[in-house]
Amino acid sequence: MTDTDVIIVGAGPTGLMLAGELGLAGVRPLVLERHPQARETPKAHGLAGQILQLLRYRGALARFEAATTDPMPAPRFPFGGVHLDFTQLTDSPLQALPLPQQGLERVLEERASELGAEIRRGHEVLGVRQDEATVTAEVRGPDGVYEVTARYLVGCDGPRSRVRELVGIEFPGVTYPEVNRVAMVTLPDSVTMLDNGDLEVAGFGTVSAGFTRTDRGVLGVGSLTPGVLFLSTVEDEPTEYDDDVPMTMDEFQASVRRVLGADIPLGDPIRLSRFTFKARHVDRYRAGRIMVAGDAAHLLPATGVALNAGMLDTVNLAWKLAAEIHGWAPEGLLDTYHDERHFAGARALLQTQAQVALRRGQDPAAEALRAVFQELLVDEQPLRRMGALVAGSDIRYPRTDPDEHALTGAFAPDLTLHTDEGTTSVAELLHTARPVFLDLAERADLREIAREWADRIDIRQGKTGDRPADAVLIRPDAHIAWAATIDESAETAARTLRAALSRWFGA
């Protein structure tokens, strides 16, 4: 008998998201966090990418939107020293929600607690060991050292993951010599923001909106809110900073002075943060009964990507752990966590390392590359493709059979569904995080097969305009496990459906 089902090490956004997803799947998670209080050091400033769509599919997005007081930014995102500007599109392939990490963690913790998670702060994991059936963690808490056992343990404990180190998971990659500093400040009286976003600085002149490059670094200038400036600097430095030590205004102003060669008057600080860029990726996401997720598994050398990737790791993992704990997981299901999320992590590294190449070059050839790249982004098709790549919405987990439907492995589109009970949608069907067999073409033969797994999956029926398939099987993480081609023969559809049900949801 174990003390809990799953031990989660780390109460950052990744660990708290995993706790909520496990609770939704009927699993008992215990979260151990070494810091005694929720951290107030500003880090991420919001969510962006596919995780926003997933939260909407969980019916939880409005809760996160209600927690922010910042206005929704225009869909314009930095990419390697240039910009992805989606303002001319009717619908942006890349969305963002401004919500400082402290607020994000509060909402995630409330949700996880409501779903049954236990969260212990001030409890540091000192060691872990595992056998064929359990994992044991040695923990130092306020009252001393103790042990706790579980079926599985997941390290969501960040870049310097103790869990990763203890189980010997390799973390190859590189650290770039860039130090990035970000400040959100009020607009002082001596600075005027012009209509085009440029700053007119008394006694200095004009500082252009966007990125200003000098031989000492890069200065970024912008504004999302009237009267508030968003500034950033990037410099090459040999200093190794501790992410838990807050940046000061004096440190930021000194950085601006070094990069620009002059002072810019700044108002009162609203948020300050500092970070370095690394490109690292674990060789395996799983070591027996111990797994890693989020920054413990991958570090990405660009902003606005890490939270999206880390929280999506947990959505992929949670339902698979639940299947193992509830006793119906098919053989090899948990191994697909590594297969799929290592693939997704490699895609995230691809586009973030491309950003490194774009932004770090300082010679005329690099300037030419950025200019050509920006020209390509004037056209809608490459702009949409880049937006999907950064958002992670282009991920199609590799198919096992090349003859499988093209939708297999993709994130399920949010179809509007007309049923006997009224109008609903794919997003609403996934609020409970249960697998869904969705019949779109009155295929009673396929519904009959799906009913053999009725204890594990929901069976729904509906009609939609321009249906993409006769039927789809949707996993709890909203990715499609199987689809039937329109008017596919009963024999072929039955055979492939049984194979998919068995592969993902057991015999």
Q: How confident is the model over 10-25, as pLDDT tens digits?
A: 999 999 999 999 999 9
Instruction: Determine the distance from the C-alpha atom of residue 222 to the mean position of all C-alpha atoms in its chain, rounded to a whole number.
Output: 24
Q: Is 45 helix (H, G, I), strand (E, B) or coil?
A: coil
| Helix or strand holding residue 176 (H, E) | strand 173-186
pLDDT of residue 41: 64
The tokens for 297 are 């598994």
Q: Which residue has the tokens 């729904």?
A: 460
| Helices and strands (DSSP H and E) totals, the chain | 13, 27
Q: How far apart are CA 116 and CA 111, in angstroms?
A: 9
| DSSP per-residue string spanning 462-502 | -B-TT-S-SEEEE-TTSBEEEEEPTT--HHHHHHHHHHHHH
Confidence at residue 228, expressed as pLDDT on a 0 to 100 scale: 82
The predicted pLDDT at position 161 comes to 97
Which one is the CATH code of 176-276: 3.10.450.50, 1.20.58.220, 3.30.70.2450, 3.40.50.300? Answer: 3.30.70.2450
Distance CA 291, CA 37 (A): 25
Q: CATH 3.40.50.970: does it fit domain 4-171+282-391?
A: no
CB 286 within 8 A of CB 337: yes
Topology, domain 416-505: Glutaredoxin (3.40.30)
pLDDT attached to residue 171: 97
SS3 67: coil
Give domain limits for the chain: 4-171+282-391, 176-276, 416-505
Q: State the Cα–Cα distance between residues 204 and 229, nearest whole angstrom.
A: 17
Distance from C-alpha of 134 to C-alpha of 489, rounded to nearest angstrom: 46
Q: What value, to the nearest 5°, has the Cα angle with vertex 212 and ends 306 and 79?
A: 30
Other beta carbons within 10 Å of 483: 27
- CA-CA distance, 452 to 431, in Å (whole number)? 23
With a threshold of 0.85, does the pTM exceed it?
yes
Q: Report whether 48 contacts 392 (CB < 8 A).
A: no
Name residues of the chain where pLDDT drops below 50.
none
